[in-house]
Amino acid sequence: MHLMKLSFSMNNVIQFFFKLGSPQWFYKATGWLMPLLAILAAALLSWGMVKGLLYAPMDKVQGNSYRIIYIHVPASFVALSCYYMMAVLAGVYLIWRTKMAEVVLRCCAVIGAGMTFISLVTGAIWGKPTWGTWWVWDARVTSMFVLFFIYLGIYALSKAFEREDLGSKAAAVLALVGTVNIPIVYWSVDWWFALHQGATLKLTEKSAIDSSMLQPLLIMIAGTYCLYAFLILLHARADILRIEQKKQWVKDLVST
Amino acid sequence: MQFDSLQALIEMGGHGHFVWMAYGITFAVAIGLIAQPMLKRRRLLSALKTQHALENE
């Protein structure tokens, strides 16, 4: 009896992932999430920005320039998270040829490149008043720069072939190979201590930041993750309509 | 509130242009990432609508 129950729930899980892999089901199942995620992201990001720009105290050493942390750190987090997700989807796509893994994998390349760009640019702007220079080939900065080009490479490869599935396969392989860069980004501040400061947030010990400065940062991180989820769905849903435009369900969607 | 006037908020003790430039560029990239799929979707749907109208003539 117990075993039957377990196998029944396992079946449900498998069925869920099976359905998730179908573009039509994915499109119809995610519609209600869009306004919810948009409102959540807008609310959290504006709340965090007001707190971070207007209410958080000035940093004793860095002055007001430190307020860039409220976009730099969340964007960097998402830039890396996006890569984890893309690498997992690349594996799923190469093994099972799941259509939705292919679609979201391509979306991740664009969104990840955007987030990495924000991370690099805000870092450079923050560097000018803090380090006295816009750019330095420090380990963290260099590995993020490499990440940006890996994202661009994945995007370019996904568009480089006449047959779209060949492009996706090549992109997925590059996404998996590029994973070697991720631990380098992650540990670069500890391995080669240069100009980039150490991690501000630590899970296992007390964070190196006062709570009045930390609170807006946590709000901004939550908001940026909501924005990221929103962007993934927005890009994926637009692409689903494109690849399924000849299917009856899209025709029905258009005619109503 | 850390700044007692709008002027002080804009200047941020000499760091204003760095902070506002960083936020401005981030905002522009975010708008781009949101607008791109929306435009793509709208273009596709209007093309499909025209096609649908032609087929039903």
pLDDT in tens, B16-42: 999 999 999 999 999 999 999 999 999
> Shortest CA distance to B55 belongs to which of A176, A251, A40?
A251
A238 and B25 in contact by Cβ < 8 A? no
Contact assignment for A125 to B18 by CB distance below 8 Å = yes
- How close B31 comes to chain A (CA, Å)? 11
Which chain B residue has the Cα nearest residue A42?
B30
- When CB atoms are compared, the residue of A64, A110, A255 closest to B19 is A64
Q: Which residues pair with A63 in a beta bridge?
A: A59
3-state secondary structure of A63: strand
Are A220 and A45 in contact, with CB atoms under 8 Å apart? yes
Whether ipTM > 0.90 holds is yes
Contact list in B for residue A243 (CB cut-off 8 A) is: none
Q: What is the pLDDT of residues A201-242, one digit of tens each?
A: 766 666 677 888 899 999 999 999 999 999 999 999 999 999
pLDDT in tens, A130-177: 888 888 888 889 999 999 999 999 999 999 999 999 999 999 999 999
Report which of A224, A149, A147 is spatially closest to residue A183, judged by C-alpha positions.
A147
Q: What percent of chain A has pLDDT over 70?
A: 91
Interface of A with B (CB under 8 A): 49, 53-58, 63-65, 67-68, 71-72, 75, 110-111, 114, 117-118, 121-122, 125-126, 128-129, 227, 231, 234-235, 237-239, 241-242, 245, 250-251, 254-255
Among candidates A99, A121, A130, A105, which has minimal Cα distance to A27?
Answer: A99
Count Cβ atoms below 10 Å from residue A139 Cβ, excluding itself.
Answer: 19
- What pTM, to 2 d.p., does this model score? 0.91
More confident: A199 or B33: B33
Amino acid at residue number A44: L
Residue-averaged pLDDT of chain A = 90
Buried b (16+ CB within 10 A) or exposed e, B4-37: eeeeebebbeebbebbbebbebbeebbeebbebb
Are A72 and B33 within 8 A, CB to CB?
no
How confident is the model at residue B37, as a pLDDT?
Answer: 97
pLDDT at A180 over 60: yes
Partner-chain contact A71 B26, CB within 8 Å: yes
Q: Distance from A122 to chain B by nearest Cα, in Å? A: 5
